[in-house]
Chains A and B, each alone.
Chain A
Amino acid sequence: MRLDVGLLEFLQRPLMCILAAADSAKRPSAGRGIGFQVLDDRETIDVIFSAWQWPRLESSLRQTGRLAVTFVSPSDYVTFQIKGPAAMRDTAAHDLDRAGRFIADATDELRSLGVPPSIIEPWLTRRDPKVARLTVSEVYIQTPGPQAGMSAGASAR
């Protein structure tokens, strides 16, 4: 499934990112993303998270190989969830840079909305960064409102 242009544009905005995986007992785990990158094929997304902060995420992912990622634009609550099979890949230096930019942008955005930086700091860390490579198979609108839950933002090949 390829992400459409509208969704690609949305993903350029300052965003917050949360992710979930479930272990083999179907127990869900949750955490926050600290960066991501849409690959050129437009159907793969690398999502970075701190395994130090969210250890259960990585073990769940390794057990079941499925991931859900939700991106929200804090200024207007526009929200999309992307799901699909995922696998851990090795972390590279550019992932750390990307995470640094993502954290800075998200912090600025939230600060501009009146959230004090001291409150945001505990949420986003680059400690022990890990990367999950997600193959997009489902995209849903999650913006609160009548369209919530509807499929969107991607076209089947």
Chain B
Amino acid sequence: MSLRLSDLAPCFEGVIPSIIATAAADGTPNISYLSHVVRVDEEHVALSNQFFAKTAANIRANPQVTLILVDCFTGDQFLLDIRFVRSVEHGPLFDKISLQLRASSAQVGMAEVMRLRSADIFRVHGIEPVLSPVEPAPAPARRRTISLPDLAEAGRAIERKIETEEIIDSLLGGVAHLLGHRNALVLARDVHRGCFTTTGSIGYERSGLGSEVAGEDGLIGAAAASGLTVKVSDMSRVRRFGEAIDADAMASEDATRTIAFPELPLAMSQIAVPMKIRDEVIGILFVESLERMAFGEEDQAALEILAGQAARALKESERAANSASGAIPAAGRTAAGGRDVHVVHHRLDDSIFVDGAYIVKGIAGALLRLMLDWHLSEGRSEFSNRELRLALAPRMPEVKDNLETRLLLLRRRLEEKQAPIQIRRTGRGRLRIEAQGSPTLAAAQE
């Protein structure tokens, strides 16, 4: 065949419905739309078996099938002659199709309706372009290809970083500079709270640092649960629950101890890439764009490479900080004076308020409480990561793997809220607490 499946990449984005024609054993034709066609390799496609009983029965009675695929950039159509080979109900291919289906049905607001039961694999026997009444559109302004040397350099830049903060910033910088995507988040897994917490953010009006995503819903939840990249390429028909930005976001933060997730209200494309070390998802890189179909195969591959690099660097950073000098800094009265800074700790969720403003909860909250406690009882302002880790581990064992990301979240939230207490890094695995005034620590009356 002169056209190859790999030439039809824009037909597999799940944006414009495909069409499937089958015929029953007696030759009665059947025609329906198809939510998703997945390219398996150069000779096979998989169809989500979401179509109707008649199509499924026809395929088994008469394996000859005709597909119409549509290029989502140009509208060009292709006729494919395909033959049913087999059905899959589990395994990696099934998972891949299932996930793509979930994302593509999310983009038409039907995630609940579409649930994959099985996927059917077909061999492609012929591909022919359908005649078009219009002149072929000038090649659409597809994004430039990603240069491999630039990608390698972006990867090395992440690898060279030692501190958690630098690694996350370097990853987000790579997304912005190499791929040209301006809105991106890094979410770190919080085993303790069973969610993913925004730890780095670029391009948003509100950074959303500290906001949490729980469960398997949405792209981030689906990517976290499956360990696979999930994307939506055309959000134009997704119901936009979040369009009205909550003007009282700050006020409601204090009331609900919940930080609003950063939003790009007019986003057309979104992608959630798991940051994995082997099979363990330690975080999610989430990128969105105002353009339709912003994340093609190349973007996805590049994001997966950078996310993997960052995951390994973060793990190494935790390990290095763990083994850094554990000497407990000497005590010494720090000059405190001025007004009182009221810090309130809620035992229930370890949430922390400074002068009435909500800062953070979970491990990050517990860390600040601990440092303040030592600051007030021992009179010292310097702490080592190691002693924090040791002190919290009995209650929060997972702290040994993600203390660095929690400290980063805490530091950034204090900065963002311009709180009168700040945490500064003073060296490898060491921190200092700085207060503009005399801190007081109280347990909240729950």
A residues lining the B interface (CB < 8 Å): 18-22, 24-32, 52-54, 60, 64, 66-70, 72, 77, 79, 81, 83, 113-115, 118-125, 127, 140, 142, 144-145, 148-149
Contacts and interface: CB of A to CB of B under 8 A. Distances in A.
B115 to A, nearest CB: 11
Contact of A30 (B21, B131, B133, B134): B21
A81 B31 contact: yes
Contact of B33 (A54, A69, A70, A145): A70
B237 A113 contact: yes
Interface in B4-32: 16, 19-23, 25, 27-32
Interface residues of B, number: 47
Given A30-B19, A31-B68, 10 more contacts: A18-B33, A20-B23, A27-B23, A28-B23, A52-B131, A53-B132, A81-B30, A119-B74, A144-B110, A148-B52
B348 interface: no
A56 B219 CA distance: 41
Among B50, B77, B108, the one with the most A-chain Cβ atoms within 10 Å of its Cβ is: B77
Contacts of A25: 64
Contacts of A120: 75
A111 to B, nearest CB: 11
B233 to A, nearest CB: 13
A25 B22 CA distance: 12
A83 B21 CA distance: 13
Interface of B: 16, 19-23, 25, 27-33, 35, 50, 52-54, 62, 64-68, 70, 72-77, 79, 81, 108, 110, 113-114, 130-134, 137, 234, 236-237
B199 to A, nearest CB: 33
A74 B75 CA distance: 16
A66 B53 CA distance: 20
A83 B281 CA distance: 49
B268 to A, nearest CB: 9
Contacts of A81: 30-32
A118 B64 contact: no
